Structure 1
Amino acid sequence: MIRYAVVGLGWISQKAFLPASTLTGNSVVTALVTGDTEKARKIAEQYGIDTVVPYENYDALLCSDLIDAVYIAVPNPMHASFAISALRHGKHVMVEKPIATSLADAEAMIRSAQQTGALLMTSYRLHHDIGTVEALKSIRSGAIGDPRFFSATFSFQSDPDNHRLRAEYWGGPLQDIGIYCINAARHVFAAEPIEVLAVISRDENDQRFREIYDSIAVTLRFPGNRLGQFYCSFAAHPLDVYRVVGTQGTISMEPGFRFEEPMAMEIESSADSKRIEFAHYDHFAGQIAYFSQCIVSGSRPIDDGEEGMADLRVLIAIERSVSTGLPVSLEPQVYRNGPSHASVRMIEPASLPPKVDVR
């Protein structure tokens, strides 16, 4: 069993990661790291976890033999410091996305993993679900010809207490849910974007958005005259869908990004039209089981630090476009292999939380 410490006990840790860890068969949570030890002890009792550690004692935990890996789910600006500390102590790290808030921090995280040999994985749960991988397989097989255009809409009404509404946490719909659209577009085209252009909107009468914009629309230009567009919002009716238009057909995925319901794919072309409803598996259990297997085998995860940094560089370029109102070019990057059946882990969910968060 790979022993994990969960760092940060927000919604995603409590309602998704912790329940999923009990389903994996190769992973167990043995410690909680938190700023609220009273709350943490109640959670620890529920899961039979013996060790509860305040943030200030994190390094002492890392020096112990109580854990092998950490799952980091604290606010975005804290990802790098917690991850680097763990990696320097030889502990493996799974960190929520975005991997960091600056390229310098992401590079430091990757460098720490390289220096110690500990594994660094960015938490892309969709890379381990059959629906995502089958969609990419269909595109690669030529089912819709040459993919030319990607579009996505990902929106919901944010809870006023969501910490992602705060600027100090690098909050906003782009970082929280837009990153899913960016990641999907990159893998659909098997390429890295070379230019971005973004427009935002903010309802000044909505008190939720005193610090951040509520919605953003983004255009991504890829090599080969391919385009991607997405809209994401914290202030719109819930919608979760993406579509790929090819030279000979289309593929639609709905839901495309969330985890509470199984994915369904529709393919329409001149040769065939079909709908595939995928079995429902626990995305979090799948990614935990996959990472633990990587730790045991010493294999680098497909969604490693470089994968997290690939999306981060696009996020930063989009933010620059927002601030200037102009297109922003990106340095050409070599695309690496994306998720495949080798990264899929099919573990049935025990139960499902209500639709509140999407990580």
Structure 2
Amino acid sequence: MNEYIQHMIDWIEDRLKEEFSLEGLANHMGYSPYYCSFKFHQVTGISMRRYILLRRLYLSTEDLVMNRKIIDIAVDYNYSSQEAYSRAFKSVFGISPSEFQRRQMPVQSIAKLITYSEGGGNRMTAQRDTEVAHLQSEKSELFDRDVLNILNGQVMYEEFKSKKLMGNSDYAPFNEAMCVHETTTPIFDSTFIQTRAFGHDVSLESYIGKVIQPLTVLNQKNYNYIVLWFGEDLFCQMNLLTVLAYLEQLEYKGTVFLNSFREDEFKVTQTELALGSYHSIYENVLINHKKPSHQVMPLMYQSIELYLEMQTENNPVTKYISKNRQLSQSELLKKLFEVFPMIGYGDTQYMELINKVR
């Protein structure tokens, strides 16, 4: 079945700049339009039209970076007008095409779906050394002793620290999963620790040792630069939001850089961030489960939209689990990792949802 769906995806990808015809796809595949649509959604967890929308808009960001005229881009991707393209773009990325063209902020990668591959296997760290070397040539000051690198998770921290990938700078992991369970403000006070430890079903001592202790370096040394290494997915972006809110709580006065990357490759996009509104965004999103009142970069906007969708009972993941109940637990976990890379949950988060649905 995955090979069949991949054939459909390949057909769609070859025609992203044309008007989509479900009937044309169905004729090509030799099945009814309903069957094609149903199977596509069942295997990929997304409707065809949503997939096409997201892929077109993501590919159009490359044209915007090249400073092409927005009206020409709209026509290329088969929009009826520049206004229609702009509305669709803002609904996905949270800013207009013209604003993106001016600021060129990072967005969550919306790659071509791969449901079947004879070669198999993605590599996450293949380009790591090359990318770090490029960063050093561009910003050598980020490799010195007055720099703290905060990395998303223990595995990434241990690799960066053991290899001294960022030279003489310091390293600290952020070992949390802020995309699940309740939270509080202020961040990292006793109430926060109790709430988060209870949500994760771990002891206070264990939580403090794993999450709080590694970050005490922020209170022990004055850093001119803090570099945040977080992936594009929902899991990483909610962690990033928490760290940014905490830096505001500490009234950090130095310079903050975000090094964002996709989890299936290591191509880094570096962005300087201005603190000032992240604590308010943290409260709106992670505490009150509401859209932020402040504008955020497209990458975080996309993740916030996903996060709020995941708070609903009938979210895309629970729907997918319900439709694939026949799969074994291990098979279902594997599928969830493949189908929802933009969410970025780990085994623990997916198992909670599987047990809830089943």
TM-score bracket for the superposition, by shorter chain length: under 0.3
TM-score (norm 2): 0.27
Higher helix content, 1 or 2: 2
In terms of fraction of residues, the more strand-rich structure is 1
Report which structure shows greater RCO (CA 8 Å, sep ≥6): 1
TM-score w.r.t. structure 1 length? 0.27
